Amino acid sequence: MSKILVTGGAGFIGSNFVRMLLLGSDHEIVNLDALTYAGNLENLADVQDNSRYTFVRGDIADAAGMQQVFAQHRPELVVHFAAESHVDRSVLDATAFVRTNVIGTQVLLDQSRAHGVQRFVHVSTDEVYGSLGAWGYFTEDTPIQPNSPYSSSKAGSDLMVRAAVHTHGMDCVITRCSNNYGPYQFPEKLIPLMIANALEDKQLPVYGDGKNVRDWIHVADHCEGIKVAMERGAAGEVYNFGGDAERENLFVVKEILRLVGKGEDLIRYVTDRPGHDRRYAMDSSKARATLGWTPRHTFESGLRATVDWYLQNKAWWERVRSGAYQAYYEQQYGGR
C-alpha cells in the first residue's frame, strides 16, 4: 500500500483513476484539485466516503499552499493529472495554460523533491508530438513539435519533468496518451459535446471538413496504462498509450447520431479551429512490450457504453452545462 497524491482527481480522467484505485487496490489517495470549471466532486460522489480517500482543495501553481499539502500529507507517489486541458479554450486565452500546466508542474516537482517523493508520474498527451500526415505513428522518439497553446504548455511541462530527471536525479515517468472518451468527460470535448447536443436536438458543430483524425481510447484503458506505468515503468522513461482506433471526426459524429437515433441534418459545418492538427495516431508497442499493457475496449463497444452513460446521467451533464459553460459556448460557437 502506498500513499498517492493524485492531482486533478476531480476532472474527467483523474476521477476515473481515483475510482479505479479506490475500488481495485489498497492504496491511500489524496485528491488535490482546484475545482476549476472542469473539476467536479460529483464525479466521485460514489466513493467519497471511502476511508482511504481524502480531498484537498488547492492550486498547484501556489507554491506556499503546495508546501503545506506535501508537509501535511507526505505522499510517497504523485500522479499528476491537473491541467487546463481544452485546445479551444487555449486558443481564446493561453494564460491559465502556462500558469497551471508549466508553472504548476514545476511547483509539484520542487515539492516532490523537497519531500522525498519516490516516484512522480506525469500524465501527458500525444499532442506534444504535433500533427501527422496520412501515414505513420507517433513513437516515444518522435520529436516534440506542439502546435496549439495547450499542447505547447503540456510540452513545456514534459520538458520540466525531463529536466528534473536529468538535473536532480528524480524518479519520474511520463505517459503520453491519445484522445480519451468515457464517463464524466466534460461536454466541451468532441464526443460528450456531440452526444449532449444530439440528445437536445441542437446542432452538431463540425470543424472544417470533418476529416481530422483522432486515435480514440476508452478512459479505463488509459487509467490502466497509468497504473502499470506507475507500478512497473522504468525511471526517466516515456510511455505512449493509444486505442488503435483512428477515426475521422465526421465518422464519430455520424456514429453518435446513429446510436441516439437522430438524423444527420443536425450536423453543421463551422469555421475550422485555427492551427487544427490533422491527424494523431499512437504507436503503443513499448507499453505493450515492457509494461504488459493492452487496451480492452474496442471503439464501437466503448462508444455505445459511453452514449448509454450520458443517457443515464442526464442530470450530471445538464448541471455542468449550465452557468459558466453557457458563456463559453456562446463565445466559442456564437459567431461561427
Which residues make up the interface to ligand NAD (CB under 6 A)?
A: 7-8, 10-14, 33-36, 38-39, 59-61, 81-85, 100, 104, 123, 125, 154, 177, 179-180, 186
Does 205 sit near ligand TYD (CB under 6 A)?
yes
Q: Which residue has the cell 488535490?
A: 32
- Identify whether the C-beta of residue 247 lies closer than 8 Å to the C-beta of residue 213: yes
Smallest Cα–Cα separation from 183: which of 300, 59, 17? 17
SS3 280: coil
Q: Which of 53, 137, 150, 239 is catalytic?
A: 150
Catalytic residue among 59, 127, 221, 255: 127
42 is catalytic: no
Question: Is there binding between residue 131 and ligand TYD (CB under 6 A)?
Answer: no
Q: Which does 111 bind (CB under 5 to 8 A by kind): ligand TYD, ligand NAD, none?
A: none
Strand pairing category for 77-80 and 119-125: parallel
Q: Say how far apart CA 99 and CA 278 lie, in whole Å.
A: 27
From 33, 84, 126, 221, active-site residue:
126
Quote the cell numbers at residue 46: 460514489
Task: CB nearer to ligand NAD: give 54 or 266.
Answer: 54
Q: Which three cell numbers stand for residue 212?
A: 481530422
214 makes contact, choosing from ligand TYD, ligand NAD, none, with CB < 5 to 8 Å by partner type, with ligand TYD
Distance (Å, whole) CA 145 – CA 155: 8
- Of 108 and 170, which CB lies nearer to ligand NAD in the complex structure? 108
Task: State the first-to-last Cα distance of the chain, in angstroms, to the nearest integer.
Answer: 51
C-alpha cell at 57: 482543495
Residue 226 contact partner, candidates ligand TYD, ligand NAD, none, CB within 5 to 8 A by sort of partner: none
Using rule CB under 6 A, residue 179 touches ligand TYD:
yes
What does the DSSP assignment read for 73-132? H--SEEEE--S---HHHHHH--HHHIIIIIIIHHHHHHHHHHTT-SEEEEEEEGGGG--B
Among this protein's residues, is 127 annotated catalytic?
Answer: yes
Binding partner of 196, given ligand NAD, ligand TYD, none, CB within 5-8 angstroms per partner class = none
Residues forming the active site: 126-127, 150
Q: Which residues of this protein are in contact with ligand TYD, per CB under 6 A?
A: 87, 179, 189-190, 193, 205-207, 212, 214, 249, 273
